[in-house]
Amino acid sequence: MGFLKRFVGGGETPEPGPEWARPMLRGDTTSFLEAVGAEIERRGLTFAIGEGMVRIERNGRGSDYGLTNLAQVCHQAGRDRWAATIAEHFDNMFAAEDASAAVEEAGKNLDAVRTMLKVRLFPGADLGGMDAMPPVSWDHAPGIVAAFVYDLPTTVSSVNIEHINGWGRSREELLGIALDNVRADTIESQAMTESGASSAIACFADHFFAASHAFLLGEMMPAEATHGAVFAVPHRHALLYAPIVDLGIVESINRLIPTASSLFQQGPGSISPALYWWGDGAVTLLPSQVDGDRVQFAPPDEFVQVLNGLAPQGA
Chosen domain end from 184, 208, 231: 184
Same domain, 165 and 199: no
Same domain, 179 and 192: no
Same domain, 244 and 219: yes
The mean-pLDDT minimum among 12-16, 51-55, 106-110 falls in 12-16
Same domain, 154 and 251: no
Contact 199, 167 (CB under 8 A): no
pLDDT the model gives residue 133: 58
pLDDT digits (tens, 9 = 90+) for 125-138: 765 555 455 668 89
How many angstroms separate the CA atoms of 252 and 246, rounded? Answer: 11
pLDDT digits (tens, 9 = 90+) for 246-282: 999 999 999 999 999 999 998 899 999 999 999 987 9
Q: How many domains does the chain have?
A: 3
Single out the residue of 232, 255, 189, 258 nearest to residue 3, CA to CA: 189
Domain that holds residue 263: 188-308
pLDDT digits (tens, 9 = 90+) for 217-233: 999 999 999 999 999 99
pLDDT mean across residues, the chain: 88
pLDDT the model gives residue 129: 53
pLDDT digits (tens, 9 = 90+) for 196-221: 788 999 999 999 999 999 999 999 99
Percent of the chain's residues with pLDDT above 90? 69
In the predicted structure, residue 59 carries a pLDDT above the cut 60: yes
Say if 210 falls within a structural domain. Answer: yes
pLDDT the model gives residue 6: 44
Same domain, 224 and 291: yes
Same domain, 256 and 167: no
Same domain, 160 and 196: no
Single out the residue of 60, 159, 59 nearest to residue 103, CA to CA: 159
How many angstroms separate the CA atoms of 148 and 7, rounded? Answer: 27
Same domain, 56 and 123: no
Same domain, 195 and 295: yes
In the predicted structure, residue 151 carries a pLDDT above the cut 50: yes
Say if 315 falls within a structural domain. Answer: no
pLDDT the model gives residue 194: 72
Single out the residue of 267, 192, 204, 262 nearest to residue 230, CA to CA: 192
pLDDT the model gives residue 222: 93
Say if 159 falls within a structural domain. Answer: yes
Same domain, 159 and 195: no
What's the pTM value of the predicted model, to 2 decimals?
0.78
Same domain, 89 and 123: no
Same domain, 27 and 121: no
pLDDT digits (tens, 9 = 90+) for 173-186: 999 999 999 999 99
